[in-house]
């Protein structure tokens, strides 16, 4: 008797093990081919629950989106009809995925697909038949699904549980006929039959041909989130096969690298996490040439209290040499570069591996008004701001070789131990100073002098700086201050949206770690000014203003089209 009870813990442990090892991929994964280049997933149920906790129902949200549009109820009525009587299952995740076949030399096809859940396939079919816009188009049947071709480049297919909407494009590339001595544009293939075959593949493919068999895709759904994203490098293999020069191990470098990301609406911020899974070839390179972390001292003395954007990266330059060696092309590259006077090694050893870009004080100056030949008035404004790009020098001998060659070619001039942009080369208004310590490009000479004086102090929040520490790459963007700098200087139709965005959105911080445990992990936070409310609920106000502004802009454009073009004294903003 007791021996039977002793088996219970073992059986429970076994059941737990089986369940934990099982696939976490949603059932819709069986429709998505393994060679899909990108997949986006949204969980409407999760998002609806978060809105309801904040006191916002779906009906309230729909009414907000269509507010100030009482004269036109057609779109709102259609929206409600799809929501309530099309047989849709809004508790299911929504999938958007894209595929590309062919290559740049022979032409390529692109398919963009949307998968949604159904409560009833028959209700969905009845809904389609009620739509006058589909005219006389007929529903066709296959063994496992029904479908309706809505145009030469789009169709809808469904079974009892899912519907897939497909947009399909077939591109052809002209080729040169050496006999006729002219370019020839090939005839397009039968797009309709190709599109039907592509959709049939989704419904009939085996599991091992779909993303349901890819562990990196399945593991992504272990995390409860509001949205997911997945990308694969396998879609580039077709492009590689068409390259005129076939590198020995390039396919090993490219294939089976995956990026999985989750997105969640939290209180006061939107959080996205990314994990990049690399194949053994890439993993070995990243282990062997592990990089340092960002050098925050490059940011410390930036001369501004109004920073708009920061981008920093730190890496081991020797990884470029490692890639050339592993691809077995180092000798080919060096022989190609013999005439330059330096080697590939000189090229990547030039920089230390720390890079920083800082942009600040963005805005618009006053108006510059001019009269064009057609008597119309032109109002032009060019953005202003400050910028520093800095990259510390690595091997000074290699740097001297590269810069000496650049001076010979007329790109730079040498003054003592420093290099500057040659007067023969348009500098785009930028100022450059390079020496044996740093390569610095600035928006102007004053910004450069203020930066190198080390007397200024960049104003960056400690919360952001703490997130930067120990990372291999960082990015920062001050949304509110940037919008503020441009908001009142344009005649945009989206002033309400811009004002809402300025009041709602604060900034964006993104970071990535160095390679560890077989993956590269990253994180991005979009921070909002209201730290107490769920970010999705807060954003509904912005969505509402964008929807209203879009409708008002469309109405304004429609009214303007009633007047003849070329009316004198029309003010145009460039």
Q: Does pLDDT of 140 surpass 60?
A: yes
C-alpha triplet 277, 279, 281: angle, nearest 5°: 140
Statement to judge: residues 301 and 258 lie in one domain: no
Q: Contact, 219 vs 260, CB < 8 A?
A: yes
Q: How confident is the model at residue 104 (pLDDT cuts 50, 70, 90)?
A: low
Residue 444 makes CB contacts below 8 A (sequence gap 6+) with: 386, 429, 430, 431
Concatenated DSSP letters of 260-311: EEEEEEEBTEEEEEEEEE--HHHHHHHHHT------THHHHT-S-S-EEEEE
- Rounded to an integer, what distance in angstroms lies between the CA atom of residue 142 and that of residue 217? 29
Note the pLDDT tens digit of each residue in 143-190.
999 999 999 899 999 999 999 999 999 877 776 666 677 776 766 667
pLDDT of residue 560: 65
Statement to judge: residues 272 and 372 lie in one domain: no
Q: Does pLDDT of 431 surpass 80?
A: yes
Statement to judge: residues 50 and 111 lie in one domain: yes
Measure the CA dihedral 243/245/250/255, to 10°: 20
Strands 354-363 and 384-392: antiparallel
Residue 493: closest CA among 412, 418, 553: 553
Statement to judge: residues 157 and 236 lie in one domain: yes
Statement to judge: residues 283 and 389 lie in one domain: no
Statement to judge: residues 307 and 283 lie in one domain: no
Q: How confident is the model at residue 564 (pLDDT cuts 50, 70, 90)?
A: low
pLDDT of residue 571: 44
Q: Average of pLDDT values for 569-573?
A: 43
Q: How confident is the model at residue 70 (pLDDT cuts 50, 70, 90)?
A: low
Q: Contact, 304 vs 386, CB < 8 A?
A: yes
Q: Does pLDDT of 194 surpass 70?
A: yes
Statement to judge: residues 495 and 536 lie in one domain: no
Segments forming the whole domain that contains residue 482: 291-317+352-393+437-514
Statement to judge: residues 69 and 97 lie in one domain: yes
pLDDT of residue 9: 46
Count: domains in the chain: 2
pLDDT of residue 350: 94
Note the pLDDT tens digit of each residue in 254-296.
888 999 999 999 999 999 999 999 999 999 999 999 989 999 9
């Amino acid at each position: 008797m007791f021996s039977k009870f002793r088996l219970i813990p073992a059986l429970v442990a076994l059941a737990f093990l089986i369940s934990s090892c099982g696939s976490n991929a949603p059932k819709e994964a069986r429709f998505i081919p393994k060679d899909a280049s990108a997949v986006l997933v949204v969980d409407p149920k999760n998002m609806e629950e978060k809105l309801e906790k904040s006191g916002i129902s779906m009906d309230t949200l729909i009414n907000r989106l269509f507010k100030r549009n009482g004269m036109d109820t057609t779109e709102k009525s259609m929206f409600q009809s799809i929501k309530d009587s099309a047989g849709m299952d809004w508790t299911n995740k929504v999938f958007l995925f894209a595929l590309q076949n062919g290559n740049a030399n022979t032409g390529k096809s692109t398919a963009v697909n949307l998968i949604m859940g159904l409560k009833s396939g028959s209700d969905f079919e009845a809904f389609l038949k009620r739509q006058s816009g589909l005219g006389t188009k007929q529903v066709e049947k296959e063994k496992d699904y029904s479908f309706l071709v809505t145009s030469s480049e789009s169709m809808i297919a469904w079974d009892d549980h899912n519907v897939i909407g497909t947009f399909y494009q077939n591109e052809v590339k002209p080729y040169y006929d050496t006999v006729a001595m002219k370019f020839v544009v090939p005839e397009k293939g039968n797009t309709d039959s190709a599109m039907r075959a592509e959709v049939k593949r989704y419904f009939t493919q085996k599991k091992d041909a779909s993303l349901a068999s890819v562990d990196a895709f399945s593991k992504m759904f272990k995390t409860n989130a509001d949205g997911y994203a997945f990308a694969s490098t396998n879609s580039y293999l077709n492009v590689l096969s068409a390259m005129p020069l076939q590198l020995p191990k390039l396919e090993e470098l490219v294939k089976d690298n995956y990026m999985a990301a989750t997105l969640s609406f939290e209180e006061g911020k939107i959080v996205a996490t990314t994990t990049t899974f690399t194949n053994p070839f890439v993993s070995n390179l990243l282990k062997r040439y592990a990089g340092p972390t960002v050098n925050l001292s490059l940011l410390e003395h930036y001369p501004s209290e109004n920073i708009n954007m920061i981008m920093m990266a730190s890496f081991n330059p020797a990884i470029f040499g490692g890639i050339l060696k592993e691809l077995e092309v180092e000798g080919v590259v060096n022989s190609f570069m013999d005439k330059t006077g330096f080697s590939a090694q000189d090229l990547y050893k030039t920089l230390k591996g720390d890079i920083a870009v800082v942009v600040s004080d963005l805005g618009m100056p006053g108006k510059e008004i001019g009269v064009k030949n057609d008597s119309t008035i032109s109002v032009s404004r060019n953005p202003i701001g400050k910028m520093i790009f800095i990259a510390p020098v690595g091997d000074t001998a290699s740097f001297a070789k590269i810069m000496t060659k650049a001076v010979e070619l007329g790109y730079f001039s040498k003054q003592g131990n420093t290099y500057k942009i040659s007067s023969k080369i348009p500098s785009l208004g930028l100022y450059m100073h390079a020496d044996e310590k740093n390569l610095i490009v600035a928006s102007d000479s004053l910004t450069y002098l203020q930066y190198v004086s080390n007397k200024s102090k960049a104003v960056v929040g400690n919360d952001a700086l703490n997130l930067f520490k120990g990372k291999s790459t960082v990015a920062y963007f001050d949304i509110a201050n940037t919008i503020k700098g441009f908001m009142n200087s344009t005649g945009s139709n989206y002033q309400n949206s811009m004002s809402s965005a300025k009041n709602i959105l604060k900034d964006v911080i993104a970071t990535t770690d160095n390679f560890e445990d077989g993956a590269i992990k990253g994180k991005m936070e979009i921070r909002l000014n209201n730290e107490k409310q769920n970010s999705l609920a807060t954003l509904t106000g912005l969505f509402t203003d964008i929807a209203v502004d879009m409708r008002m802009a469309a109405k304004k454009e429609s009214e303007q089209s009633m007047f003849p073009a070329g009316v004198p004294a029309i003010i145009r903003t460039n």
